[in-house]
Amino acid sequence: MKPLHILLLGHDSDRQAEWAQLLRNAGHQAVSVANPSTVAESIESAEFDTIVIDLAWPGLDLMTLRRALALATEQEPDSLAAAERRHLALALKHTGGNKRKAAQLLGISRSTLLNKVRKYRLERASPTGGEQ
C-alpha cells in the first residue's frame, strides 16, 4: 500500500498530534493545521489524498472551506487516452513494473499491455526497465 498524504484540521492540538504520530508510524505523511483561518489556504496549497476535518472547530468558516474544497476537486475531464495512460502508469507502479501482474490487474493480456506501454511511451515507468 502506498503512503497517503493526509491533512489534519482541528482545534485540539493534542489530539491532532496523537493522530499525526499514529499516521506517521503507519508510514503515511500527515500534516496538521491548527489555525482555522489558514484551512482554505492549506487545502489549496498542496495535493492531499485525504483530509480529516473537525467541523465543530470554533472559528472555522464553513463557506470558505466549502469553496476551497470545490476548487481543490474541480478538474476538467482528461481525454480518454490521457486517462488510459495515467491508469496504465499507476498499474505498473503498483506492481513494481511487473507487466504480467499489471496486465492481470487491468484485465487485459500481457501483449495488449505491452502494445499500450509502447504507444504511451511508458517503458521508463518500469523501475527495472526490463520486460517482465
Domain annotation for the chain: domains and CATH numbers: 5-73 (3.40.50.2300), 80-125 (1.10.10)
Instruction: Say if residues 66 and 53 touch (Cβ distance below 8 Å).
Output: no
How is residue 22 written as a grid cell? Answer: 499514529
pLDDT confidence band for 129 (50 / 70 / 90)? very low
Q: Over the stretch 28-80, which tens digit does the pLDDT of each residue have?
A: 888 887 776 676 677 766 677 777 777 777 776 777 767 766 766 666 677 88
- Model pTM greater than 0.85? no
